[in-house]
Amino acid sequence: MSYVRDHAVDVVVIGGGVVGCGAALDAAARGLSVALVEQSDLAAGTSSRSSRLAHGGLRYLEQREFGLVHEALTERGLLLDRLAPHLVRPIPFLFPVGRRWERPYVASGIRLYDALSRIGSYGGTMPRPKSLNVDEAKELAPDLDAGEMAGAVRFHDAQIDDARHTVAVGRTAASYGAHILTRTAVEGLLIDDDRVVGVRLHDVLTDARYSVRAGVVVAAVGIWTDDILRMVDPEAEPRVQQSKGVHLVVRGDAIRSTTAVIARTPASVLFLLPWAGNWLVGTTDTPRLEEEPLDDPQATDEEITYLLGQANRWLARPLRREDVIATYAGYRPLVAEDDSEATTEVSREHMIFHPIPGIVAIAGGKYTTYRVMAADAVDAAVADLAEQRLSEAPDASVDDRRGGEIGPSTTAEIPLVGALGFAELWADRASLAERWGLSVTMIERLLRRYGSRISEVFDLLEADPALRQPIPPAGRHLAAEAVIAVTRQGALDLDDVLVRRLRITPESVDGGRVAAAAVAPLIAPYLGWDEERVQQAVSVYDDHHPASHA
């Protein structure tokens, strides 16, 4: 914080979601000085509340958004093969159909989807799709209802840990010199002669207020985009629609299947996704109601009932309300030309806003295309900087107008923290388990979370063997991981650790309350907490996370 207080930077990025972190990385990798400010925690909003898929969006083919699907599938390949192979992995899907004539129609769509993933892509190619009869589908997913199926199509897509991926993008940006400031809210913009020249900030933890001057401000704030645009023009028309997506976390033994499932719903699609021994069931796609809080969306009884009903349409053993461990909800920031347009019909293309010089805002898009969105936003910011330089020096060359020494985006070539060396460690996972006295399952889970940065875990275990104790009640995480969350990954409280770094909260019947009581004393020395602060943190956590989310 002291650096950005005392120095102007080239770029201030507002927003610590995946696009904001991506923009910070993109700009820093081009050699620009960067400060990213986030009012809460990295990935605290929509970027930790997705379906956790790196995918092209199969349903967008019916809307003829072939360019968007191809772009997203190309990014999927980059994530799988180069950028984040430890955080992204292929998973098989079944697409059941209810009428015999639907199977060739669905199969042709999925073959097109597969073809788009191979045309000009970097990599990440998947096994070819295959049409299955009812018996073949039931072998893969015994709990699918044969009476509802006329067959299915098997294909592959990819799964991503959205929150951990966003944090990895932020950490990579920091390794390129970006200053990452969480718990820092933007209270206003600095405007001079109809140009944005910086931001006014509020440090939520210390209550300090200060300003940072910047050559250009990039707003990657998703559902808050209209708020930023109104800081420039209080009369600005709304540009972003919030579409609500709800997911259920369902007990692992409630669905017997070796694959994920995607099926049609009246308005959108249904996902049944394996996740950490449980299942994710989602999602909805409905406009946000005016009375719903923007900063903390919750699943309603009606939405839970709707998702259970859509899932049970395809399941021989119906899901019950008591099978739901937890729920989570988020808002998609969609850019629509017509406010009356249904959110299911709004394009997932992104849009750049440049209302006045000195500020660039970006909204729309899909999680999977975050890197392209970030590059487009930084391209616009670089062009703005070039115009500023030209106005200050009218005799500047054409190269200066184009950004001079500021080159194009290179993030397609930058592996995220933990990616380099992951494949070799994965191949050596059995010997790693023997060397560290951990199960192969535990080593695999650690590698899928930390990649080659698993060495950070091993260093802690060697320094303090007590940190190999499992975090209760499930014991799928080591105590060392909570320490890494606050010492290496920017976590500042129990929510940061349990909701986004370790993902214990949305996977626990008790909302992570037992884990919170165990983790608070572990992280206290690193956060400067005394006993009173530990008890306060646990109490605040318990108030925010009731024992039953459903």
C-alpha 141/C-alpha 521 separation (Å) is 43
Tokens of 475: 């014991």
Residue whose C-alpha is closest to residue 502's, from 521, 475, 481: 481
Assess contact for 526 and 487: CB atoms under 8 A.
Answer: yes
What tens digit of pLDDT does each residue of 31-76 get? 999 999 999 999 999 999 999 999 999 988 888 889 899 999 999 9
Give the residue range(s) of CATH 3.30.9.10 domains in the chain: 84-158+241-335
Give the architecture (CATH level 2) of 2-46+164-236+355-413: 3-Layer(bba) Sandwich (3.50)
Q: What CATH homologous superfamily does 84-158+241-335 map to?
A: D-Amino Acid Oxidase, subunit A, domain 2 (3.30.9.10)
Give the architecture (CATH level 2) of 422-544: Orthogonal Bundle (1.10)
What tens digit of pLDDT does each residue of 85-117 get? 999 999 999 999 988 888 899 999 999 999 999
What tens digit of pLDDT does each residue of 196-207 get? 999 999 999 999
Phi then psi dihedrals of residue 74, to 5 deg = -65, -40
What tens digit of pLDDT does each residue of 469-508 get? 999 998 999 999 999 999 999 999 999 999 999 999 988 8
pLDDT > 70: what percent of the chain?
94
Give the residue range(s) of CATH 3.50.50.60 domains in the chain: 2-46+164-236+355-413
C-alpha 124/C-alpha 76 separation (Å) is 7
What tens digit of pLDDT does each residue of 232-272 get? 999 999 999 999 999 999 999 999 999 999 998 887 899 99
Residue whose C-alpha is closest to residue 124's, from 93, 155, 157, 92: 157
pLDDT surpasses 70 at 223: yes
Angle at 360 between CA 356 and CA 365, to 5 degrees: 135
- 387 to 183, 356, 383, 384: CA distances (angstroms): 32, 12, 6, 5
C-alpha 434/C-alpha 441 separation (Å) is 12
pLDDT surpasses 60 at 550: no
Q: How many CB atoms lie within 10 A of CB 266?
A: 7
pLDDT > 90: what percent of the chain?
81
Q: CB under 8 Å to 128, separation ≥6 — which residues?
A: 114
pLDDT at position 125: 77
Q: pLDDT band at residue 344, thresholds of 50, 70 and 90?
A: low
C-alpha 397/C-alpha 163 separation (Å) is 43
Phi then psi dihedrals of residue 340, to 5 deg = -80, -10
Give the residue range(s) of CATH 1.10.8 domains in the chain: 422-544
pLDDT surpasses 70 at 283: yes
Q: Report the predicted TM-score, pTM, of the whole model to 2 decimal places.
A: 0.95
Assess contact for 360 and 354: CB atoms under 8 A.
Answer: yes
pLDDT at position 548: 57
pLDDT surpasses 90 at 291: no
What tens digit of pLDDT does each residue of 383-404 get? 999 998 877 766 655 454 444 5
pLDDT at position 404: 57
Assess contact for 12 and 37: CB atoms under 8 A.
Answer: yes
Phi then psi dihedrals of residue 320, to 5 deg = -110, 160
For residue 271, what is the DSSP state? E
pLDDT at position 402: 44
